[in-house]
Chains A and B, each alone.
Chain A
């Protein structure tokens, strides 16, 4: 029984023991865990912006590059112009832009139609409509500031007192300023300074005005780079992690302001141990020529060179490897410092240099090299716009590069420093490869004429196997002088004030240029002090100030092997360059015997004017006609000055810079009440050239006038007249209606007042300044002095005439004149004397547009005027009317078989004008030939011989006053020379007839007809130097 009970108990307990858990578990399984999902999606957002919010020194020609984490919706894209506004912060004025959708809607490219204004703060605003799913946080305060201009209007350069705006990395950019890792410079840092003024390169030397001192007060060895508002200090070695002090003392601006003493101390952070990452510019593996940038949608690694003068089709495609030094990443979790060392080189494909993108210029650029002049510094930081874990990192890099070209001419024309290039990009590891997409905008100066805009779309990929990555090659070519300006062959084309430009085959180490003994200048054997011939370094170029360059002086420029390239290679051989400007003969040994200087101007016409019409419609406005001319002379049009250009005055001999000042050269703007308001501005004065830039850019559509002051006699130089150093006032009236009223050689004239209207994009042209050079009448006294070499008869009896001449022939004579001979006495043969030589003058031209339909006949391509050579399609260029004077011609005539009279024409004053009265300017055509561009123009010339005084016992009258020679065709080649300058040489395919009548009190007595036979006129024009000091 007990057993049974026991068993029952056992069974019951065991059953319970086993079953209970099951029941309980069943009951315990009442609720299963529900799914838990995290609804947080990182909001779709901006992941890239260039310029980025807070960015300073943004290149004004920039486009805005935006990229989002997700494609924009169709509805947003359709309304993008309404949803996004770019405005100036100050006035809220909207910027008109076109937009481009990139990468299927993930990117957006905004192109401001007229470019942004320098030195201006902009804000990108989003309307309340937002951007669809894209988070709008980044747009709440999206401001950036454009860089001040590197030349031109002072208001565009900077405002306020002369000051240092920022030193990177002491003053970090907006994206870095709150990151502790980037709060101090590091041992790899280069100091990049931006000022609000153009710096005067003559007064800035490292170790003097600029010092970087170590903790012991010693000077740290460094290279100084200077361009415009930028000054870059690149320490030669890594900085020690001890306190350093940057000292700026006595730094001067181009406007001669002095910067107050400035000291900034910092302690660089050590970045060791560093690693070097080798990056390929381009894609690894198979070449993908069609690859476009994710950021811009444009071909990767192409630097477009967009300018008005070259068009928008030119580009260079870069390739190469870069070795980037990365700081020890674990020590810099938030901002990894990186450096691409100085001397790194990228190679670019040749650039097509076509005028307006259409006409082959004849320049072969060869390989374009981009060489880092200083250590490029940057940081890799977390994406500032997105917290998403897959958001790419931001890469920021500041660099200073030199652009050089393989071709000699192109190098001279294009070689330059490009400082403070800001590269901004995205970096992410894709399939184990670090990929960087970056953008930057550079503005290289093209041919000394214009700044191009190039939006670079970089793509770099790091080699996957960094231990076996290629070693980036260095530019191992020896350093040599490639060309120089004016050079051996073109010294007659230069004038005092023109710089001496030395073009090397590769970029120079800036520090070596300024070493004592690297470049020495001797004048007549005496060493010229540095301050009299200051130099600046610009890429592969050294520009020496020519302000003190004089005629009649033997200059020697000695280059030694102290000059080094960026890798430290010395100049291949010591060299001495000999330079002697044309000898200037002083008649009677005294400058007081020279003629008054004459000015060629643009905009406007180079004489004192009368009869201006400034009422009615703009097309009816007239600038007036020359004082001293006929009442029937054409009234010149009021020129349009494209808004970026200065007023430019070129003198035919050196003037006294001190006599050009606010009292003698001033610009006024017509106020609404028709009063004239003084336009403040800046005069850039060289011995034979002056430019006026207003402080604020010209206002498009406004009427301005400028005055060059002069008085006929008794000039108070610098007060009421611009004068030559010898006291002769500017001759503003060259012509007269009687011999008696002809201006005396040293007579000035009335104030020269020219009107002009500021023009916008619709009237855009590229302003080109050309001087009539070389000339034999170096002293510009309109006389071929005995010391001035004219034409010579060669042994083969041919005649060699220097450029810029008119060979005259006596075509016919009649009336009382029964015999005549040109150049010498009757009965003598003197073909070498039948020349009038052009004195130096200048003209302004502006290539404007390509006309694909116009037909031009280049009759002189083969040198034979009888043959035609038609071409369809040419560039229309504005040629602005100007005056060119010549030396006199001698004519001996016999009147009535009895009386022999000698006639000296005196200077001929040639006014080059448009054919029709309604034409505001002459239109020239530039067309393509296999040998380079060809220029054609048909003009009228108004000829005056104010000093011609025919005399047959008593004084007779003549009619060479405003004598219109019609339909003068001039054509010829436009060629680059080695130093990068263009030279235009035109001749006449048709003979020109200059009929002259002699009268007595209006009664015709006789006539002489002079002819310039076909090809006998030579007009050689030399472009202004491509670089100024």
Chain B
């Protein structure tokens, strides 16, 4: 079996997968806020539980959700995730003074293709008495790595969904320490963000022939921190012998916080046009953000019951900050959008079928943070949604070739976007500043997440 690995990858499927990958490359990305980690969840365990288990999953992806969770398992892992999201985002025209001609309701039929690599390893606590320490690194690339820094900030006359866009380069690292206090693990991580600045100076004639050009481009990395605590109630309160009432000895709690983040691009161009614009020239300054993720503060409870594990989580997402971000955004400042903080509840359960197989599922209800139903030119659409996920892990204790335990995971997530009406406006419309069309937004998103993790 180990010598014939190709059996397990049927030729047709391989072709199909290749086709999907290639076909997806040309899909336009949508723009705005959020990214794969917060919108879908990274990897099968997070996607398949609607992120209900995110605070407790001990794998490499805990860096994003709750770095302390890495300490929950002593196993190191090297994990690869392929995650495909198929988004059918719809905007049904309800008419208006100058509606667009829409062949059907589908506004976006794009997909996101995420390739993630994560590693987690235990670096400390060689002796049993010392506190074990874990390090993790995550790398995520969208469009199966064909575009490591997609960035979009558009106005859109047809309307555009605020989330479900391509994921720029995701890079995070962090560490967790077990039992920083008895029964309490702590973790810290940082995500890399980029602020890119481009500057162009040139002298041009009216035909666009330039000379004396000076072009510079710099990308300044930024780090967005996340903190988490994982608390085993029984250990914290009872020590080595269980003391919790109602059989809650295995109850775990997690609290986590991650800071807001975004990717910023500013373009500063200056052109001198002899005969028209003398020195100091015509300045073209654009500053905009993409992939905004709100500050999140949340807590989660995990209760193992026999072969089951139940999880409940509540997180607050501080979207209101985006208001001021967009106020300073050249592309969106005219839209005067309003955002509200939202609280997202998540529930999940898992069932350990056998030592090898675990099945899990989850549900989350997310209210839309976008308060405005009209955003001049930008025409953001967003609505409340329900997220459902199911999935499973299968552990091969000794995988072929590598002779090490491998966990294969598979999850499916479905997001149902509620119907919500928006008024579209555009400076280019005949009716400007009045809306030219009212659309009813909704959508269905299906995500398949696959991962293979080598444990060590």
Contacts and interface: CB of A to CB of B under 8 A. Distances in A.
B394 A432 contact: no
B352 to A, nearest CB: 14
Contacts of A87: none
Interface string A267-296: 000000111111000000000000000000
B280 interface: yes
19 contacts: A18-B8, A18-B9, A20-B412, A25-B448, A29-B86, A32-B106, A33-B104, A33-B108, A33-B109, A39-B101, A273-B280, A275-B277, A326-B275, A328-B277, A432-B206, A432-B209, A434-B275, A467-B274, A467-B275
A37 B101 CA distance: 5
A469 B9 CA distance: 71
**9 cross-chain pairs, A with B, having the tightest CB-CB distances, nearest first:** A432-B207, A466-B275, A34-B103, A34-B104, A28-B86, A21-B448, A33-B109, A275-B278, A466-B274
B396 A10 contact: yes
Interface string A38-50: 1110010000000
Interface in B280-309: 280-283
A278 B205 CA distance: 13
Interface in A246-277: 273-277
A32 B109 contact: yes
A13 B8 CA distance: 10
Contacts of A38: 100-101, 157-158, 428
Contacts of A22: 13, 16-17, 20
A18 B13 contact: yes
B430 interface: yes
Contact of A469 (B98, B102, B275, B276): B275
Contact of B394 (A13, A277, A326): A13
Interface in B84-138: 84, 86, 88, 98-110
A329 interface: yes
Given A13-B357, A24-B86, A40-B436, 8 more contacts: A13-B392, A21-B17, A29-B86, A39-B99, A274-B278, A275-B273, A329-B276, A432-B206
B276 A28 contact: no
Given A9-B356, A29-B86, A36-B103, A275 B275 contact: yes
B107 A33 contact: yes
B8 A36 contact: no
A462 interface: yes
Interface in A418-469: 429, 431-434, 462-467, 469
A20 B17 CA distance: 11
Contacts of B158: 36, 38
B245 interface: no
Contacts, number: 149
Most chain A CB neighbours (cut-off 10 Å) among B106, B274, B282: B274
A466 B206 CA distance: 10
A14 interface: yes
Contact of A40 (B98, B276, B280, B444): B98
Contacts of B450: 17-18, 21
Nearest to A35: B103
A31 interface: yes
A329 B396 CA distance: 70
A30 B428 CA distance: 33
A19 interface: yes
A215 interface: no
A620 interface: no
A17 B410 contact: yes
A338 to B, nearest CB: 11
Nearest to A467: B274
B446 A24 contact: yes
Nearest to A14: B8
A431 B208 CA distance: 10
B205 A466 contact: yes
A899 interface: no
Nearest to B436: A40
A25 B86 contact: yes
Contacts of B208: 432
Interface in B426-451: 428-430, 436, 444, 446, 448, 450
A16 interface: yes
A37 B100 contact: yes
A14 B106 contact: no
Contacts of B17: 18, 21-22
B446 A28 contact: yes
Contacts of A39: 98-101
Interface of B: 1, 8-10, 13, 16-17, 20, 84, 86, 88, 98-110, 157-158, 205-209, 273-283, 356-357, 392, 394, 396, 408, 410, 412, 428-430, 436, 444, 446, 448, 450
Contacts of B412: 20, 24
Nearest to A18: B13
A9 B207 CA distance: 68
Contacts of A16: 410
B271 to A, nearest CB: 10
A691 to B, nearest CB: 51
B410 A20 contact: yes
B448 A24 contact: yes
Contacts of A30: 88
Contact of B106 (A25, A33, A276): A33
Contacts of A275: 273-278
A40 B206 contact: no
A278 B412 CA distance: 68
Contacts of A19: 13
Contact of B276 (A17, A24, A277): A277
A34 B102 contact: yes
A9 B430 CA distance: 63
Contacts of A35: 103
A946 to B, nearest CB: 78
A589 interface: no
A330 interface: yes
Contacts of B276: 275, 277, 326, 329, 434, 466
Nearest to B28: A33
Contact of A273 (B20, B88, B279): B279
Contacts of B410: 13, 16-17, 20
B428 A278 contact: no
A701 B275 CA distance: 58
Contacts of B274: 275, 465-467
A43 B431 CA distance: 12
Interface string A678-717: 0000000000000000000000000000000000000000
B144 to A, nearest CB: 13
Contacts of B16: 22
A463 B205 CA distance: 10
A67 B257 CA distance: 64
A472 to B, nearest CB: 13
A31 B107 CA distance: 10
Interface in A156-173: none
Nearest to B107: A33
Contacts of A25: 20, 84, 86, 448
A433 B208 CA distance: 10
A492 to B, nearest CB: 57
B106 A31 contact: yes
Contacts of B107: 33, 36
A725 to B, nearest CB: 64
Contact of A328 (B98, B278, B394): B278
A467 B206 CA distance: 12
A112 B421 CA distance: 56
A467 B102 CA distance: 50
A462 B109 contact: no
A329 B206 contact: no
A29 B86 CA distance: 8
A325 to B, nearest CB: 10
B280 A329 contact: no
A30 B357 CA distance: 32
A28 B280 contact: no
Nearest to B450: A17
Contacts of B101: 36-39
A463 B207 CA distance: 11
